[in-house]
Amino acid sequence: MSPPLRVLIVDDDALVRAGLSMMLDGVHGITVVGQATDGDEVPAAADAHAPHVVLMDLRMARVNGITATRRLRRRRRPPEVIVLTTFDSDENILHALRAGAGGFLLKDTPPAQIVRAVRQVAAGDPILSPRVMRRLMDRAVLQADAHQRARTALAMLTARENDVVLAIARGYTNAEIAAELSMSVATVKAHVSSILGKLDLDNRTQIALLAHDADLA
């Protein structure tokens, strides 16, 4: 028989820890080997208990779940991490996945799905709750739309104006743009005014954001 999956629970809410522990300890093939109340306790808990999977809260008083996940995943033999939280903002999801989390679940996820997630992530297969997956899909669609709109807008500009847009996106001042593109500061200012007018923008920051959406910067 395979040894049971060892799970570490990290959450600052004692009731959440107790509930997860009772639920998972009653499942065949899974054992809760330890608990931590904050992200700063995670390294010592991981050393002491050698978990296969860590259920990680996001918001904790001293060290948050993103930082704790990143530190865990840098270890020589890192455990898998499932973020279990009530906060499903796009930023939280992306930061958690970039930190190395193998799963992102909401705390209202049914117990059977949490159990399945623990087994799935331990096997190396990532898992996201349906609501989180939908958010990521919607975000991808919005990013694709923004990219296409930005590309279409910049196509209205001359080649020289696009050079100025790229320099603005890189944070250059008018004087630096003039030196880079071998033109006078007055000419740079004229190009910037023309860009703002053609694209119906209000300031240089909006120009830089448009360049970012078009993947120019």
Q: What percent of the chain has pLDDT over 70?
A: 93
Number of folded domains in the chain?
Answer: 2
If asked whether residues 147 and 113 sit together in one domain, one would say no
Domain boundary among 76, 104, 128: 128
pLDDT of res. 161: 94
Q: How confident is the model at residue 213 (pLDDT cuts 50, 70, 90)?
A: confident
If asked whether residues 113 and 144 sit together in one domain, one would say no
Residue 140 has pLDDT above 90, yes or no: no
Residue 141 has pLDDT above 70, yes or no: no
Domain boundary among 94, 128, 162: 128
pLDDT of res. 136: 66
Question: Where is pLDDT greater, at 1 or 112?
Answer: 112
If asked whether residues 116 and 154 sit together in one domain, one would say no
If asked whether residues 22 and 97 sit together in one domain, one would say yes
pLDDT of res. 143: 65
Residue 39, Cβ density class (10 Å: 0-12 exposed, 13-18 middle, ≥19 buried)? buried
Short-list 33, 4, 1, CA closest to 122: 4
If asked whether residues 103 and 209 sit together in one domain, one would say no
**Residue 118: enclosing H or E segment and its boundaries?**
helix 111-122
Q: Tens of pLDDT along 43-67?
A: 999 999 999 999 999 999 999 999 9
Domain boundary among 128, 143, 171: 128
Short-list 40, 34, 89, CA closest to 97: 89
Q: How confident is the model at residue 146 (pLDDT cuts 50, 70, 90)?
A: confident
pLDDT of res. 201: 86
pTM value is 0.65
As given in the structure block, the two tokens for residue 105 are 């679940």
If asked whether residues 32 and 105 sit together in one domain, one would say yes
Provide the residue range defining the domain that includes 155: 135-213
If asked whether residues 32 and 115 sit together in one domain, one would say yes
CATH code assigned at 185 = 3.40.50.2300
